Structure 1
Amino acid sequence: MSTSRRAVLGAAFGGAVAAATGLPATAQPANAAHAASWQLKWSPSARSDGLGAFETVEDDRAHSHPAGHPHIFATGDDWRFNIHTVDRDISTDRQRQEVTGLRTGTDSYLKWTEGQTWRITYSMYIPSTLKATTAFTHIMQMKQPGTGTSPIVVQSLRRDAEGRQTIELRLATDDILVGRTGLDPLHDKWPDVDFQIKVGNGSAGSVRWILKSGSTTVIDTSRTGVDTFLADRVRPKWGIYRSLGDTSGSLQDTYLLLTDLRGYRLA
């Protein structure tokens, strides 16, 4: 990532900590030495860590398209996720090329548990061939690990009621829209994502979602008092996970790029 893009993400730190702790961005606690702060816990490199950055890799789980292997791989400083119209997941009404989790060693990975607050920042490249659809197209999920578990939070490319392409963040458990903005201005660019989550059951959770394009904040939205925990732990996923039920004719061979993934815990 360029120095200017890193500066843009870094500028959000003060407000991001404030949102997670409930303090105004300009406020300072009486004892500043004990102020909450983001602690860097995960900073993989595509060039040196490759797919070893992730807890698991879900590359064509159904072996539907061997000629397309690998669908997920590191290229330079980026992680690339390819998807083709012929790809099928184990459930044949959908497609999935995703990675999960934050690996920190051969046998270790970070666990997001109830009561913790986590933050993920990264840049993504969404080509114009990766379109919003009338059915689901998720490019990030927060889930409880395990087969058949439901998503908790999804970042999705979705056509709205008027057919416009949007990118949105939604709390899937209770179908709460956190925020939505137009996708077209973000196509063929490198927008920056800043996602924060307090893992909490019932009404104890919260999320914040920031998208920046260059120096422009495209959206900065949050929800508090929401359910962000099912059981065990929360695990992030990235890639392309989409339904074949799209009715807009938007499905085509495409890809997604991610770079500069960072994971922080509020301590």
Structure 2
Amino acid sequence: MAPMRPRMLSTALTALVLTLPALAVPANSAGAAPAWTLRWSPDPTRQGPDDAFETVEDDRAGSHPKGGPHIKVAGDAYRFDMHKVDRDSYSDRQRHEVTGNRTSPSDFLEWKLGQTWRVTYSMYIPKSLMATTTFTHVMQTKQPGNGTSPITVTSLRRVDGKQTIEHKVFDGNVLVGRTDLEPLQDKWIDVEYEIKIGDGKNGSVRWALKSGGKTVIDATKNGVDTFLADRVRPKWGIYRSVEDTSGSLRDTYLLLKNLKAYQLKS
């Protein structure tokens, strides 16, 4: 039999492809694949801290009114100033933080049991914001309310004298990931954080950092506890102990921009 000409071969292949069944794609009951839906994206050039976040905890003990506001807009970013003299209502620590995701003057997002959320943002850590021997948190997730323990924390911690940035699940002190802090200071870095809210062993956490477009760390922990009660709420800012023994406490600041929150819809 004579060999098939190129045009005839192309026609035959097209006909074959058209008769093949479509590949199955995971979908929900409505037939759509799970997708991330943008739910929150504050713009510092138009929205101050009170408009962007559920609550603003700026020197709630009134320890340093002359230094305020400690949380404010600076250009296209949210700025958190921390002075060595600042104190929280507990005098062994300092706290200037914002919480939650405000979507209107009367409403905010609620992260609930069984849901999966992703937050992305850019963060600037100056060299004056140093890792400490005790806790220095720059991001947390918590159950709303006073006296509740964190669920997850991003911390600047000294490990064997070395400055690191790490993310942990608080229950069980589970380390998700850790990397050197100093190469990430005095520059904008990108953060991507995902949490599947699950009780007991039903939760998971992913934490990733990029610098200059290159992935520095991308770590995941499954089978962890990411729920206490009620709901989960993110927090950003500077929350640190004054009992550091390394001499690392300085007047300092933290910058955040490009904040976004996505919910996984299935």
Deviations 1:97-156 (A, max 9, x none): 000000000110000000000000000000000000000000000000001110000000
Report SS of the residue matched to 2:45.
helix
* Separation in 2, partners of 1:260, 1:28: 36
* Separation in 1, partners of 2:154, 2:33: 30
* Separation in 2, partners of 1:238, 1:30: 35
| Alignment of structure 1 residues 168-207 onto 2, 5 Å | 168-207=166-205
| Alignment of structure 1 residues 85-234 onto 2, 5 Å | 85-160=84-159, 162-234=160-232
* Separation in 2, partners of 1:212, 1:28: 33
TM-score, reference length from structure 2: 0.88
* Separation in 1, partners of 2:235, 2:72: 15
* Separation in 2, partners of 1:28, 1:142: 36
Change over 3 Å in CA distance of 1:243–1:30 after alignment to 2: closer
More helix by share: 1
> 2:144 corresponds to which letter in structure 1?
P
Structure 1 match to 2:39 = 41
Which blocks of at least 5 consecutive residues in structure 2 are unaligned? 1-22
> 1:154 corresponds to which letter in structure 2?
V
Deviation, 1:34, is: 2.2
Structure 1 match to 2:65 = 66
* Separation in 1, partners of 2:76, 2:172: 36
* Separation in 2, partners of 1:265, 1:174: 26
Task: Tell me if structure 1 keeps the 8 A contact 2:158–2:164.
Answer: yes
* Separation in 1, partners of 2:47, 2:217: 31
* Separation in 1, partners of 2:26, 2:144: 40
Q: Does 1:251 align with 2:227?
A: no
Structure 2 match to 1:6 = none
Deviation, 1:255, is: 0.1
Change over 3 Å in CA distance of 1:263–1:28 after alignment to 2: farther
Task: Tell me if structure 1 keeps the 8 A contact 2:27–2:34.
Answer: no
Which blocks of at least 5 consecutive residues in structure 1 are unaligned? 1-26
RMSD: 1.2
Number of residue pairs matched by the alignment? 240
* Separation in 2, partners of 1:98, 1:245: 19
Structure 2 match to 1:24 = none
Question: Moved runs in structure 1, 4+ residues, more than 4 A?
Answer: 30-33
Task: Tell me if structure 1 keeps the 8 A contact 2:93–2:240.
Answer: yes
Structure 2 match to 1:264 = 262
* Separation in 2, partners of 1:232, 1:256: 29
Deviation, 1:76, is: 1.5
* Separation in 2, partners of 1:28, 1:97: 49
TM-score, reference length from structure 1: 0.88
Deviations 1:180-203 (A, max 9, x none): 000010000101000000000001
> 1:198 corresponds to which letter in structure 2?
K
Q: Percent identity?
A: 62
Structure 1 match to 2:10 = none
> 1:235 corresponds to which letter in structure 2?
R
